[in-house]
Amino acid sequence: MSKKKLARGTLLLKNDVASINYAARIIRRGGTVAFPTETVYGLGASALDPAAIEKVFQAKGRPTDNPLIVHIENSAALASVASFVPDMAYLLAEHFWPGPLSLVLLKSDFIPPAVCAGLSTVAVRVPDNHIALDLIRASAVPIAAPSANRSGRPSPTSWKHVLKDLAGSIDAVIRSPGCVIGVESTVLDLTSHDPVILRPGGVTREELEQVLNRKVAVAGASSDSETPLSPGTKYRHYTPEVPLILVTGSGVKVLKVVKALRQKYETRGLKIAVLEASLTAARFGRPADVKALASGLYGSLRSLENSGVDLIIAAAVKPRGIGMAVMNRLYKAADRVIKVC
Ligand code: TXA
Ligand code: MG
């Protein structure tokens, strides 16, 4: 490996074989390494080492009652992290792994309680990123990894975002091009009779329903619109440093209100940023536009907060496909939601 670079004490690693092996040694020795996945950057530590897990919670400032996702190399490793693996889990793994789907299962004794915040369950997934997979293989342990941001901040989709939040608090970060999907994995609870989406994410409800050939419920969705509920659930998340107003409702009216709000605040001398990708996605509703919005969402929020604006305005998209994950994150990021009838 070439000369090591540091950012406030955090090692900046390349993503070649030697660097990944080096990162794996850090993990095996109880350290913390931020690594890319297809969704967002994760902050990894050995899932078998309670002291390393404690470092992850400390670095993020994460409430200790919020459990971590365990990342494994393939579905063969499920049997060691879970005490019971229903057939449905293998079916889903076959279709969606490697990929952005975390399955909540009954945990095995192999996984220490600290990883799962004392719960009897564990969330597990196989990431679809060759650097992440090489790191898991080289570490030879399952890797527990939350998103690599300070708790409450937008998740990181580049190593630069990781450094902004965590430089000096973690041992290393592996540099790589950005994360493609841009929002986190779907968390699906398989511990009861009926599967339930606990967090919408990269694998859509429609995709799950197609493979399972049944309806899949979303926890916390209001029964009328099936839109994930607005902020105020347990923790605020994904919050940029600048206030964000979310305008929800149907198509053209939303666009009009966004325009009017911009004018109103600009006349008051405020610098306004409109989340342009949300306008495009709201205007046309094309799947490709919603995907692009998801992919750039956290990066946009982070760059807007650095651009000197006073207020960010975002338009709602339909909570279908990946749009459900986008809306879940926008609701949680919003300081104010304006509903246009
Ligand atoms: O895409 C992702 O999932 C990223 C990458 C790094 O894999 N990870 C991620 O981790 O988003 P985190 O910690 O930021 O979010 C994990 C979510 C939290 O909402 C947590 O409450 C939930 O998964 N979770 C973890 N274990 C759980 C469990 N046993 N039961 C219910 N929810 C769980
Ligand atoms: Mg997170």
Helices (H), the chain: 17-28, 50-60, 78-81, 87-96, 130-139, 159-166, 205-212, 251-267, 276-284, 287-305, 323-333
Report CA(277)–ligand 1 centroid distance (Å).
26
Instruction: Express each pLDDT in 146-203 by its tens digit.
Output: 999 999 999 999 999 999 999 999 999 999 998 999 999 999 999 999 999 999 999 9
Q: Does residue 19 register a pLDDT over 80?
A: yes
- Residue 231: its pLDDT value, please? 31
Task: Give the chain's mean pLDDT.
Answer: 93
Report CA(106)–ligand 1 centroid distance (Å).
15
Q: Does residue 328 register a pLDDT over 90?
A: yes
Of all ligands present, the nearest one to the C-alpha of 70 is 1
Which ligand 1 atom is the nearest neighbour of the CA of 107? 29
Name the pTM for this structure: 0.95
- Residue 236: its pLDDT value, please? 60
Mean pLDDT of 244-266: 93
- Residue 225: its pLDDT value, please? 42
> Which CATH class, in words, describes the domain spanning 5-183?
alpha beta
- Residue 2: its pLDDT value, please? 54
Residue in this structure with the two tokens 């890319």, named with its chain if needed: 36
Q: Is 19 in the pocket of ligand 1 (CB under 6 A)?
A: no
Q: Does residue 224 register a pLDDT over 60?
A: no
| d(C-alpha 246, C-alpha 336), whole Å | 6
The number of residues making up the chain comes to 341
Q: Is the dihedral of CA 304, 305, 307, 310 positive or negative?
A: positive
Mean pLDDT of 5-22: 95
- 244-340 shares the fold of 5-183: no
- Residue 178: its pLDDT value, please? 81
CB 212 within 8 Å of CB 101? no
At 232, is the pLDDT very low, low, confident or very high (cuts 50, 70, 90)?
very low
Q: Is 119 in the pocket of ligand 1 (CB under 6 A)?
A: yes
Percent of the chain with pLDDT over 70: 94
- Residue 227: its pLDDT value, please? 43
Q: Does residue 223 register a pLDDT over 80?
A: no
- Residue 320: its pLDDT value, please? 95
- Name the CATH topology of 244-340: Rossmann fold (3.40.50)
Report CA(252)–ligand 2 centroid distance (Å).
33
Q: Is 274 in the pocket of ligand 1 (CB under 6 A)?
A: no
At 222, is the pLDDT very low, low, confident or very high (cuts 50, 70, 90)?
low
Report CA(17)–ligand 2 centroid distance (Å).
27
CB 106 within 8 Å of CB 120? yes
Q: Does residue 228 register a pLDDT over 50?
A: no
Mean pLDDT of 319-326: 96
- Residue 230: its pLDDT value, please? 31
- Domains of the chain: which residue ranges? 5-183, 244-340
Mean pLDDT of 69-95: 98
Instruction: Express each pLDDT in 259-317 by its tens digit.
Output: 999 999 999 999 999 999 999 999 998 999 999 999 999 999 999 988 999 999 999 99
Report CA(125)–ligand 1 centroid distance (Å).
10
Of all ligands present, the nearest one to the C-alpha of 98 is 1
At 24, is the pLDDT very low, low, confident or very high (cuts 50, 70, 90)?
very high
Of all ligands present, the nearest one to the C-alpha of 238 is 2
Taking 3-state DSSP, the helix, strand and coil percentages for the chain, each rounded to the nearest 5, stand at: 35, 20, 45
Q: Is 123 in the pocket of ligand 1 (CB under 6 A)?
A: yes
Helix axes 276-284, 287-305, angle to 10 degrees: 160
Q: For residue 9, how many C-alpha atoms fall within 13 Å in the half-sphere facing its CB?
A: 7
Report CA(313)–ligand 1 centroid distance (Å).
27
Written as one letter, the residue type at 205 is R
Q: Is 42 in the pocket of ligand 1 (CB under 6 A)?
A: yes
